[in-house]
Chains A and B, each alone.
Chain A
């Protein structure tokens, strides 16, 4: 296992990239700590697979360096980096048995037969493939194939990190949970450094200790699931994490007041008088519908999904989503909303800003 350092990393698929738009991956500086489980979360095409392929050595970055435990591996091949990678679609050697599949990387490295047999047995036990060892890989279900794919990575003892590129895409929903739990317990038991790429926030939040959110070729926030939820550093994080995502209202801010369409929303903290394009962000969970007080809204629709109610309202011309708990009973004269003031975030040009006063509750974000 190793810690992975990315230094001034940037990548463009164009041969001579000049402007920032040419880069699929914009400047990234980051250390992936040894033995941690990370999730790389972002919408399709945001550069997360590019980043993964740079780490595994399948793509050589245009700029910057990749270091494993402080050692420069930028020019090393994938095999020399000792990386295991599980792909979106299960990659197995169809004509081989499960046993031969697992033994393949070791055989290619010229290991002794007795060592290979023992190692394959151990790994099969670890990932629960013992019963399938004699079977041909071709006829197996996708989840077992993904396990083989994972096993081929784990079978090498010197593996530095395990990378997952949306590994559960083709797995049946009821097996996804099981496989993810198994990955998590593998991580806890053996302490592999794991990087897990996904566009599914549930997957990311349940799998990882730290979630790295990417947007438009850039890492916008790295944090625990709770940090991402409570203090999103970028409007994208607010919008992407949570279901439904954060509500945004364009505002102008003066001290402890936010102005929008002539109305005033009180803030818990003093933000001074920031310039630029400002947005007030509040999660649907922190808005409550009430009979009076707060601000008056127009209710558009209510969806009852069992454990929650999703309520869509219009406030000052902007649509807001509200999530109310199961116990909440809706009444026809509930026409006002109240914001949980502590949970309001202010964004300037899409980035979260902190209140000016030192005693402010909003934490630093990066």
Chain B
């Protein structure tokens, strides 16, 4: 049967096209434009071709930042995902305490990024911070503004404090959607607590965990505000992650061309990793369903 052809449907698509064009595509194209040119101000631009890309790919600075970034995301995920699941498993299932828990857990999520940074910045200060002062009084050397390891620990703890709730809440939602009959069946089958987790809870949480991992990965890969507020990427360069480096390059040094090339490559890396991750998860899902 032949379908009726009606080109008027395009009219309905136009508003969205316009919106996306002005909010995403055009700004992005400006960045693309910058990345192929050089300028010395006064709005005069020179075509440099792939020069900036070539330069960046050989720059140690970018690779170091990327390495730090990867390490940070890996640490964050390996702490927050198991911890979030653990918290979700131990949350009350119903009643007043369940609501209290939910409210308390969502509080960190509602705090603006730079406030989180400021809170920890002050909290960890050796002179006036509760944590920093306490540590130094206890004789533990802790100084995030001078010691690289301490800076890393602080940034990681800060992120865990800020975002574990998200993983926990998502996992909790996944757990709550498991019908009671599953737990009853496992009782009848005499399954151990570990078996219940391994064969019932974990498979049922797979979907939400995938979203949690994806969200936490993207967000931690783009982290900027917290380390910036804490130490501005220091001490030295040890907490200079990709975003911080990018901003330094674009606004600090006003190297618009290299910064544009940087942001495009940054964008592609995130897109690529997320895409690979998503495809792998979905194909696992599909192949399991097929068997």
Measured CB to CB, the residues of A under 8 A from B are: 53, 56, 58, 77-79, 83-85, 87-89, 91, 93-96, 104-105, 108-109, 135-136, 138-139, 149, 152-153, 165
Q: 19 more A-B contacts (CB under 8 A) besides A78-B184, A85-B185, A136-B288? A: A53-B184, A56-B188, A78-B187, A79-B188, A79-B190, A83-B188, A84-B188, A88-B181, A89-B181, A91-B184, A91-B185, A93-B200, A94-B199, A94-B204, A95-B199, A105-B188, A135-B291, A138-B291, A149-B185
A165 to B179, CA, bound (A): 14
Q: Does B210 contact A (CB under 8 A)?
A: no
| Chain B contacts for A78, CB-based, 8 A | 184, 187-188
Residue from the list A83, A89, A104, A135 in contact with B179, Cβ < 8 A: A89
| Chain A contacts for B59, CB-based, 8 A | none
Interface SS of chain B: helix
Q: Are A139 and B184 in contact (CB under 8 A)?
A: no
Q: Which residue of B lies closest to A149 (CB)?
A: B185
A138 in contact with B288 given A79-B190, A93-B199, A108-B189 (CB within 8 Å): yes
For chain B, give the interface size range.
20 to 34
Q: Does B268 contact A (CB under 8 A)?
A: no
Q: What 3 A-B pairs come out closest when comparing CB atoms? A: A87-B181, A136-B291, A91-B185
Q: Which residue of A lies closest to B191 (CB)?
A: A108
Measured CB to CB, the residues of B under 8 A from A are: 179, 181-182, 184-185, 187-192, 195, 199-200, 203-204, 288-291
| Chain B contacts for A104, CB-based, 8 A | 189, 191, 195, 199
Q: Are A91 and B182 in contact (CB under 8 A)?
A: yes
Q: Are B181 and A139 in contact (CB under 8 A)?
A: no
| Chain A contacts for B203, CB-based, 8 A | 93-95
Within the complex, the shortest CB–CB distance from B237 to chain A, in Å, comes to 44
| Chain A contacts for B188, CB-based, 8 A | 56, 78-79, 83-85, 105, 153
Q: Are B191 and A91 in contact (CB under 8 A)?
A: no
Q: Are B187 and A139 in contact (CB under 8 A)?
A: no
Q: Which residue of B lies closest to A159 (CB)?
A: B188
16 A-B contact pairs sorted by A residue (CB < 8 Å): A78-B187, A79-B187, A84-B188, A85-B185, A91-B182, A93-B200, A94-B204, A95-B288, A104-B191, A105-B190, A108-B192, A109-B190, A135-B291, A136-B288, A136-B291, A152-B189
| Chain B contacts for A136, CB-based, 8 A | 288, 291
